[in-house]
A and B are shown apart, each in its own frame.
Chain A
Amino acid sequence: MNALLAWSRRRVGPLAVFALLLLAWEYGVWLFGVKEYLLPPPTKVWVEFLKRAPTVMDAAYVTSRQLLAGYLLSIVVSVPLALLVARSRFVEESVYPVVVFLQIVPKIAIAPLFIIWLGFGFAPKVIIVFLLCFFPIVVASVAGFKSVDPEIADFARTTGASEWKLFRTIQLPQALPDIFTGLKVGAALSATAAIVAEFVAADRGLGYLLLQYNGQFETAMVFAIIVLLSAIGLAVYYAVELLERLAIPWHVSQRPAGVTGA
């Protein structure tokens, strides 16, 4: 409860600034007579959103599902792969360079290929989200799994413990802070990835809707969707951060406050 209070106290400042910005926006638009299709005031965005809420929320559901599936897939693939890279010289020298090379290929550019291969549905979007989130998680996790101090490793070897036990007791907990860093970077990318995937080709979802409204100069709806998308991205990010707090309190509390908006 105290933690919650402290948390909300830290949030007061940014929220106040945010509210002020909204106010300035609202009255700025009115004061200078800016046309609505250029920059609608926040109240207009809200009203328009309420009018089309069912459609938009359906689209949000579609997009969130793609986003979450792609993100989870990237975690499930990246972390074990990182462990392999960290533990096997062979994998590090043969597979890792290929992973790095694939990262250099602009993934947005290959996105249309997935449409050819997999059609317009769920799968190509999941793959694109996966591709974008995958790399930061792998890189951070490899660093994490490799961060065991050589002297800790020496000490551990003198205990005669099994590899599995050493992994559980030392290597995994040691790697968690870095893994979570990767997961947070991935989470922040996932919303972008989901939208880009829908821009390429889609017949539903927030990305699809956004292009539709944009084409019809329904600027207020464009704003509504941008806000909604940000909210989804933020929710994923904070879910990961919450998980981090639960999993590695010893690390979170030693980090200087405010570094990751904590």
Chain B
Amino acid sequence: MRGGANPSGSSVNIAGVAHEFRRANMVTRALDPLDLTIAAGEFVAIVGPSGCGKSTLLRIVAGLLRSSAGAVEVAGKHVAGPQTEIGIVFQSPVLLDWRNVLDNVLVQIELRGMDPARYRDEALKLLAKTGLAEFVNRMPRELSGGMRQRCAIVRGLIHDPPLLLMDEPFGALDALTREQMRIDLEKLWLERRHTTLFVTHGISEAVALADRVVVMTPRPGRIDRIVEIDLPRPRNKETIASAKFSDYCEEITECFMRRGVIQY
């Protein structure tokens, strides 16, 4: 199941990327130099404690933040500014309050100067796939948090980006919604095989979704370990309940215990 399956997915090459935040005279090291290569079509999850710089790394890959050192290449091209060949999803759905669900998805198309009418059917299809078929004409305030986040995910995917960046996209959701979203996201990924970088602090969520789980140390963040997840897809109930699945979770939990992130 490892990457390369999708020639349209972008590879990501992170070389020696480090970051520090300067405010007044304080310098906070957020990320220590870090190397990571993500193959085209691969699903990589980054797991780490709060403040380990995982969101910072994602923003650097998106070109929304300039790293203090090192370089990122997406699809072989050096990242020098905001990337447009990506889809991005944050922890909060950040929808536009004055647009209904469908138009919130299509804003992605409009802002790109493409014709929204041509993407309408695709948007409706994706919304249906994420359980929003009956809600396409609703306004964001009429939706539950989970529905809003689904809408944000569809907005991140509608233009079929070769790279999807997700920053704790399920972080604000309840456990049941999370599980369903996880299943839906895997389905979409299996169909499209866009390269995905998924930042989370949920260990089992990372194991359930990713081809590889990158485990980060506490700040300043470094890669502690990379765990290859060799589980069949789609990852169904049996997979999640398997001994192998819990072994992976165990392995990552132990990384955090060693660093004192989790203490018993």
Instruction: Please give the residue numbers on chain A whose beta carbons come within 8 Å of chain B beta carbons, in ascending order.
Output: 149, 151-152, 154-161, 165-166, 169-170, 173-174, 248, 250-251, 254
Contact = CB atoms under 8 A, between A and B. Distances in A.
A158 B84 contact: yes
B112 A160 contact: yes
A165 B111 contact: yes
Contacts of A160: 82, 84, 111-112
Given A157-B82, A173-B96, 12 more contacts: A154-B88, A155-B94, A158-B64, A158-B87, A158-B88, A160-B84, A161-B111, A169-B107, A169-B111, A174-B97, A250-B139, A254-B97
A251 B107 contact: no
A152 B94 contact: yes
A248 B96 contact: no
Contacts of B108: 159
Nearest to B159: A159
22 contacts: A149-B94, A151-B94, A152-B96, A154-B59, A154-B88, A157-B64, A158-B82, A158-B84, A158-B88, A159-B108, A159-B112, A160-B111, A161-B113, A165-B111, A169-B110, A169-B111, A248-B98, A250-B97, A250-B98, A251-B97, A251-B98, A254-B97
A6 B141 CA distance: 23
A259 to B, nearest CB: 16
Interface in B87-110: 87-88, 90, 92, 94, 96-98, 107-108, 110
Contacts of B141: 254
B83 interface: yes
Contacts of A154: 59, 62, 64, 88, 90
Contacts of A149: 92, 94
Nearest to A154: B64
A165 B109 CA distance: 12
B50 to A, nearest CB: 17
Nearest to A155: B88
Residue with the greatest number of chain B CB neighbours at <10 A, chosen from A159, A160, A173: A159
A157 B96 CA distance: 15
A158 B113 contact: no
Contacts of B113: 161, 165
B252 interface: no
Interface in B128-155: 139, 141
Interface of B: 59, 62, 64, 82-84, 86-88, 90, 92, 94, 96-98, 107-108, 110-113, 139, 141
A102 B261 CA distance: 54
Contacts of A158: 62, 64, 82-84, 86-88
Instruction: Give 9 nearest A-B pairs by CB, closest first.
Output: A159-B111, A160-B84, A161-B111, A157-B82, A250-B98, A151-B94, A151-B90, A152-B94, A159-B112
Contacts of B59: 154
A185 to B, nearest CB: 22
Contacts of A152: 94, 96
Contacts of A166: 111
A208 to B, nearest CB: 45
Nearest to A162: B113
A247 B173 CA distance: 33
A205 B80 CA distance: 63
Contacts of A165: 111, 113
Contacts of A248: 98
Contacts of B82: 157-158, 160
Contacts of A169: 107, 110-111
A220 B141 CA distance: 51
A141 to B, nearest CB: 17
Nearest to A248: B98
Contacts of B62: 154, 158
Contacts of B111: 156, 159-161, 165-166, 169
A169 B110 CA distance: 9
A166 B84 CA distance: 14
A248 B111 CA distance: 21
A248 B96 CA distance: 13
Residue with the greatest number of chain A CB neighbours at <10 A, chosen from B83, B84, B88, B98: B98
A169 B87 CA distance: 18
A159 B84 contact: yes
A248 B98 CA distance: 8
A158 B108 CA distance: 9
B98 A173 contact: yes
A151 B110 CA distance: 18
Contacts of B112: 159-161
Nearest to B139: A250
A166 B113 CA distance: 11
Residue with the greatest number of chain A CB neighbours at <10 A, chosen from B87, B88, B111: B111
A140 B64 CA distance: 29
A152 B93 CA distance: 9
